[in-house]
Structure 1
């Protein structure tokens, strides 16, 4: 368990990391489907807190493994087996999502999370035993993660016994989440771990693609339900095509940012960028739920109002765009997307649902997609013009 070089050439995701990501496809699909179900039934706000809580567990477990693997991916037998234990925990967590979303029953979700974290604790203990320079840091990680898991178990037991009222559950969750987030900062004070900037950038990009793929799957599911209920109509086609264009546009915008170079040049600010991606990832997952409901609503009536359906698309898209500007800011020399243009597009996106009574859901979703395409155009066109002038000179 020796740390890998931070400047290793051609460092890319391993086959094991890609397999690890596939288990998260199941978990993200489960939490997105439950949010879509709540939005379609007209209970979107009520389902938002369980969605954010379960998604935090998914994101945090994925992120911890990703940064650990960037430092200590030895790919030996013990490493592979402990990683597979974490994969099993992801699948257990995914199985518990319906109960957590519908009945606030977090027993299975908590069990899956504990399995994931136990696998990571074992990895850190291996580092402590085999990599003397990083021993103190590894022991801090192992101790901090273990203390946090004790807190999650106590929260579950107290809630099951009725000693913790429902109103206290969100604050307790927030406190434990802050504790989890504080562990890396505390552990790294004993000695910073090495990680590969371009490998981390690639890993985050791959998870972004997973979330965009989940949105495609969610929209496709909505199309199937709409066709079964009322057949294919013009509105359904417009919403489906617009959803695809919107996802393509968000993909294009995300990968305009030179993250690898930014992480290489400003490693000390990586926490802000890494933690900020919780909002980016959650927004993409919520957008998938909104698009599924919008497509399904184009075929038949749902419990949600047209305004609620439009905002289920507009709000996640707007949040994603704002975070696309603010989250990379600490590691970049300057913004890739002009803030004025971006904020103007976000304002338009958030105002468009108000016109749903006049235009319908399909037109609103199409307009949101068009605004994002316009943002790409005003961002890319000046670059192309500058390159052309440079070549002429």
Structure 2
């Protein structure tokens, strides 16, 4: 008899059926397979953020935003469903691994179709999405066979997911006027399946494992912010060389990434979910706003990078017209300078709005999950208001690098308040 290398559950490799993981299992962490699975989603997230960036620069912000939300929702939803299933039923069998591989293939096909989602062509995206979902259906059927106590729950998952996939395929042949109403309906049905299935009995997911898995996806999503920050710094260096503004862009963008990371890990997700499993749906579903906003910040920083590059063109035009060097403010992204018609004010506002969404969403999840009495609501409003300082400074005439640096002020206040509060008033920050 072989056993699971992590938990000791009987493996499918010997013909025995795993009956679900132990929700109190000690030292449960993400497996190497889960980490590999996450890597396949990097491409889809990066393509969605990149398409949003290009859409904004081409003055198609509304359409690009819709495409971005669709692409990110589908990516997140497929990842989330697999993650919760694996937390409950990962037995490390060959069958489980191969079905995970099939879902990874589906992710790559879906990623190939992401650009089409922004132009209204859903064919490739739907193909990849359905491949991911049908592989999960098979996993739920295997879980139903191996876990008689939760057979009804597993069959509800399998049946519900399968039926909705028929809807996604059928939607491809609908008249255009029915496309969006049916899309919203199918999205709602997808998100209703777990709510309906879990009414028949909860699955044995592991609280700390789930918390770790979500934190890993956040780090992957913050990778888009790091990429945007890197491109912004590169734009300044390649255009103007070593300057004070280069230091401000580097400090501001890096501090913003670091502050968002620090803020997220103030949330005691593992302990809260372990003590209150009934709060898992709000916590799990609510994270989509955090992930979306983090990816949007990355796209916004890419727009900032393009605006900074435009400073070189403005400087060269000024030299050609007057024979004199352009002012430093113009070179660094002054409010009157624009890249492809996108002004520095527009760029910094895009980042600020996404950051405010991140902070408010994080507070909402923190409040609902912990029920702590630490005055986080007023703090969040104050910190979100501080986010407006960046766009305000640029609007008043400050160079874009200064506005970028000011965006870190709000998160810094939240971090200091929480870190000091936890040391001096532990009870007020405790999970209730």
TM-score, normalised to structure 1's length? 0.92
Correspondence list, 1:124-273, <5 A: 124-158=140-174, 163-165=175-177, 168-224=178-234, 227=237, 233-273=243-283
Q: Deviations over 1:249-281 (max 9, x none)?
A: 010011011111100111011101100001111
Are 2:232 and 2:249, in contact at CA under 8 Å, matched by a contact in 1?
no
Q: 2:60 aligns with which of 43, 48, 56?
A: 43
Q: Give 1:356 shift.
A: 1.5
Which residue does 2:355 correspond to in 1? 317
TM-score, normalised to structure 2's length? 0.84
Does 2:307 correspond to 1:297? yes
In structure 2, how many angstroms separate the alpha carbons of the residues matched to 1:94 and 1:6?
Answer: 33
Q: Secondary structure at the match of 1:190?
A: coil
Q: Give 1:375 shift.
A: 2.4
Which segments of structure 1 move beyond 6 Å, counting only runs of 4 or more? none
Does 2:121 correspond to 1:121? no
In structure 2, how many angstroms separate the alpha carbons of the residues matched to 1:180 and 1:349?
Answer: 34
In structure 2, how many angstroms separate the alpha carbons of the residues matched to 1:374 and 1:135?
Answer: 49
Are 1:215 and 1:284, in contact at CA under 8 Å, matched by a contact in 2?
yes
Change (3 A) 1:114 1:356: same
Structure 2 gaps, min length 5:
1-17, 311-337, 427-432
Change (3 A) 1:172 1:234: farther
Q: Deviations over 1:143-170 (max 9, x none)?
A: 1001111111111222xxxx122xx433
In structure 1, how many angstroms separate the alpha carbons of the residues matched to 2:237 and 2:105?
Answer: 35
Change (3 A) 1:112 1:149: same
Change (3 A) 1:222 1:181: same
Q: 1:97 aligns with which of 114, 119, 131?
A: 114
Q: How many residues align?
A: 380
Which residue does 2:8 correspond to in 1? none
Higher helix share: 1
Structure 1 gaps, min length 5:
388-393
Q: Deviations over 1:1-53 (max 9, x none)?
A: 32010000000000000000011111111111111112233332331111001
Query: Taking CA–CA contacts closer than 8 Å with sequence separation of 6 or more, which of the two structures ends up with the larger relative contact order?
Result: 1
In structure 2, how many angstroms separate the alpha carbons of the residues matched to 1:16 and 1:285?
Answer: 24
In structure 1, how many angstroms separate the alpha carbons of the residues matched to 2:192 and 2:365?
Answer: 19
Are 1:325 and 1:335, in contact at CA under 8 Å, matched by a contact in 2?
no
In structure 2, how many angstroms separate the alpha carbons of the residues matched to 1:130 and 1:51?
Answer: 38
Q: Secondary structure at the match of 2:128?
A: helix
Change (3 A) 1:365 1:335: farther
In structure 2, how many angstroms separate the alpha carbons of the residues matched to 1:234 and 1:106?
Answer: 46
In structure 2, how many angstroms separate the alpha carbons of the residues matched to 1:127 and 1:302?
Answer: 54
In structure 2, how many angstroms separate the alpha carbons of the residues matched to 1:175 and 1:371?
Answer: 37
The structure with more radius of gyration: 2
